[in-house]
Amino acid sequence: LRQQWLDRIKTAADPAAIEEVRLAALGKKGEISLRMRELGRMTPEERQTTGRALNELRDEIDAALRARKLALEDAALEERLAGEWLDVTLPGRPRPRGTIHPISQVTDEVTAIFADMGFAVAEGPQVESDWYNFDALNIAPEHPSRQEMDTFYMHRAEGDNRPPHVLRTHTSPVQIRALQEQGAPIRVIAPGRVYRMDMDQTHTPMFHQVEGLAIDRDISMAQLKWVLEEFCRSYFEVDEIELRFRASHFPFTEPSAEVDIRCSWEGGQLRIGQGDSWLEILGSGMVHPYVLRSAGVDPDKWQGFAFGMGIDRIAMLKYGIPDLRAFFESDLRWLRHYGFAA
């Protein structure tokens, strides 16, 4: 009897089967229970020996059932673990990783350098009214820079005779917007996209400028010079920097200067800071009283400087990139070559 039960327990394959065996043996109508009940009809001697044997058998069956249940659970866990086995030492599958576009990197860098000198960031729309882009900046309607030649005009609806909006041709309209919003004194830069109809090795129809504007009671060109020299030292990472201010003309500054940086070309390699060559990097000047008045600032109380620098241009210079168009072709091989992508 004992062996029969132990065999049944050993071959029970799942929890349901174990429960079945338990009921058949130890349940109310189970075999062992029924036999226990028969004890009453036995002689005291028989009862004592059979009773003890039955008690032992019951305990043994009970223990065997529990052991079998544990063994089954262990086996199930083992199987699951085997199925879920994970080799944590396997190298991961490489995934393509994005990187910050070089122009954005340079913009961030430029912004950080000017931030150290106390310049906050101002912004304006890329689709600009002709008033902000031209009139407010003292650019008369007949001025050559208004010609369809290099300005992108937005179309008005048929019958709408208001002057068309333009894609801003420079970041200078942000001078007006920042002054209108914040008034004087002010110290801001305005990095962003600008648009002109032009396309060759050093021009793309969309490019980037950073505008600078500092207005206070007595700001002079000497401060403009210092700020630009400080910027160049920091940006080009050379101690010796020489800037050359060339008299120029912009309608929105008086006097105006184009600024060149001293450099050399040794075996086709550009070196900033020393040499016999000059490279133009920006336009600048003292803000024209007309511009201050346009923005509601009293030119008898306030004065200051402004400059506009090509971000793409200084990016080309720093990284030795010969063709500006490559910046906007999203060619991963090109980006990797210059270390701009992983």
| Residue showing the smallest CB distance to ligand PHE in the complex | 308
Subset of residues 244 to 263 that bind ligand PHE, contact rule: CB under 6 A: 250, 253
- Write the CB contacts of 132 (distance below 8 Å, at least 6 apart in sequence): 124, 168, 173, 176, 177
Q: In degrees rounded to 5, what are phi and psi of residue 90?
A: -65, 135
Sequence letter at residue 220:
S
Q: Which of 151, 284, 294, 303 binds ligand PHE (CB under 6 A)?
A: 284
User: 287: closest CA among 308, 305, 269?
Assistant: 305
User: 125: closest CA among 74, 55, 176?
Assistant: 176
Name the one range near ligand PHE by CB under 6 A: 58-66, 116-124, 177-185, 301-309.
Answer: 301-309
Mask 160-199, x = binds ligand PHE (CB under 6 A)? Answer: ----------x-x---------------------------
Q: Which two tokens stand for residue 55?
A: 């008690």
How many residues are recorded in the chain? 342
Nearer to ligand PHE, 19 or 229 (CB): 229
- Shortest distance, position 170 Cβ to ligand PHE, whole Å: 3
Q: Say how far apart CA 210 and CA 163 lie, in whole Å.
A: 27
Name the one range near ligand PHE by CB under 6 A: 3-11, 37-45, 224-232, 279-287.
Answer: 279-287
Nearer to ligand PHE, 102 or 283 (CB): 283
Question: For 117-164, where are the alpha helices, taking DSSP H only?
Answer: 130-133
Longest dimension (CA), the chain: 132
Nearer to ligand PHE, 5 or 305 (CB): 305
Q: Which of 173, 192, 285, 304 binds ligand PHE (CB under 6 A)?
A: 285
- Shortest distance, position 310 Cβ to ligand PHE, whole Å: 8
Nearer to ligand PHE, 191 or 283 (CB): 283
Site size for ligand PHE (CB under 6 A): 10
Q: Which two tokens stand for residue 115?
A: 């931030």
Task: Respond yes or no on whether the N-terminal peptide bond of residue 191 is cis (omega within 30° of 0).
Answer: no
Name the one range near ligand PHE by CB under 6 A: 98-106, 183-191, 229-237, 278-286.
Answer: 278-286
Per DSSP, the three-state class of 296 is: coil
Q: Is position 303 an interface residue for ligand PHE (rule: CB under 6 A)?
A: no
Q: Is position 308 an interface residue for ligand PHE (rule: CB under 6 A)?
A: yes
Q: Say how far apart CA 233 and CA 272 lie, in whole Å.
A: 10
Name the one range near ligand PHE by CB under 6 A: 4-12, 20-28, 148-156, 277-285.
Answer: 277-285
Task: Respond yes or no on whether the N-terminal peptide bond of residue 255 is cis (omega within 30° of 0).
Answer: yes
User: 294: closest CA among 160, 180, 136?
Assistant: 136
Subset of residues 116 to 145 that bind ligand PHE, contact rule: CB under 6 A: none
Q: Is position 307 an interface residue for ligand PHE (rule: CB under 6 A)?
A: yes
Nearer to ligand PHE, 235 or 307 (CB): 307
Let me know: does 233 contact 241? Beta carbons within 8 Å: yes
Residues that bind ligand PHE (CB under 6 A): 170, 172, 250, 253, 283-285, 306-308
